[in-house]
Structure 1
């Protein structure tokens, strides 16, 4: 599997604090509203200064900031202030309060494991996802233009693949890349 999803492919939904754009859901016929998914990658815009995250039982969450600054208070666990591209990992069943109007990048994994990371590509970068586990891997282009296996990926687009490693060519491209065990 090797596919690029563009901005026009996104499902957009409103929630009490803003707007969410679903970049990818697995399985592909999954439904976030019904909580029928293995994992989901999305971008959310928070339009309220304070909000409370929806509790998601048995779900590992990874979140980062694309625009703005957000303070997360995971009640009884930890508090963190996230600036652009900083990452926080937490459990969906935690009571989580947020402060700050932001655009964030989210990975939600139900009953499983996965993660993502930030990288700036200045020329050429090989990314090895995992040789030991079966996974679905992704690269989200935050800025710049990427070339992966002769395929152009522009700002706001996401590559979904099951390849164990890829080579990215770019000049000052910024990405989130990650994996989810399946």
Structure 2
């Protein structure tokens, strides 16, 4: 189990705004070198229009957390996204983004599969996960607070990663919204 606190993930500039890398695997990989298997990040798009960085060899999943986005995958399709809607697309596509929004990103190297979903936990709701040997699972708290069985408390902006084979129990201390990432290797 890995916990990444919001305070541990500094904001970095990119052509359309700012981004925070929440998780990258393998541990010694680097986004700039394009040698990662999986990467989780958030981004704030502060430019009305910008081009996404091409990522050949990767499948991209983008979920809008705030605002609305229009993605134009040039030569392929376009997609309008509202809060908690997801678009999955080839990282090699030339993608034009329009709109001001905040998003959550999952990038996986082809050969693996990724999924993003939104989950709402009501106050005092509990969640128990069994070990899954071929799945990496992560929970990003959009809002609220949850407590792990270990007693650690996660707040908005924190990320919890459950590695293959790990189990998990948690309880929502207040109504909480999460992005759930599931990666199958």
Whether the 8 Å CA contact 1:68–1:102 is kept in 2: the answer is: yes
Distance 1:67 1:126, change over 3 A: same
Deviating more after overlay: 157-166 vs 42-51: 157-166
- Distance across 1 between alignment mates of 2:171 and 2:81: 28
Aligned equivalent of 1:121 = 121
Q: Alpha-carbon deviation of 1:135?
A: 2.3
- Distance across 1 between alignment mates of 2:10 and 2:135: 23
Distance 1:181 1:23, change over 3 A: same
- Distance across 1 between alignment mates of 2:11 and 2:91: 21
Q: Alpha-carbon deviation of 1:86?
A: 1.2
Whether the 8 Å CA contact 1:11–1:23 is kept in 2: the answer is: no
1:98-150 Cα distance to aligned partner (Å, 9 max, x none):
1001111101111221112101101425365874x512210101000012323
Equivalent residues in 2 for 1:58-97 (5 A)?
Answer: 58-97=57-96
Aligned equivalent of 1:152 = 153
- Distance across 1 between alignment mates of 2:109 and 2:130: 20
Tell me how large the CA RMSD over aligned residues is. Answer: 1.9
Equivalent residues in 2 for 1:101-112 (5 A)?
Answer: 101-111=100-110, 112=112
Which structure 1 residue ranges, 5 or more long, are not aligned? none
Whether the 8 Å CA contact 1:124–1:167 is kept in 2: the answer is: no
Q: Alpha-carbon deviation of 1:8?
A: 2.2
SS in 1 for 2:11: strand
- Distance across 1 between alignment mates of 2:59 and 2:129: 22
- Distance across 1 between alignment mates of 2:107 and 2:134: 18
Q: Alpha-carbon deviation of 1:13?
A: 2.2
Whether the 8 Å CA contact 1:70–1:83 is kept in 2: the answer is: yes
Equivalent residues in 2 for 1:9-20 (5 A)?
Answer: 9-20=8-19
Q: Alpha-carbon deviation of 1:47?
A: 1.3
- Distance across 1 between alignment mates of 2:75 and 2:131: 33
SS in 2 for 1:8: helix
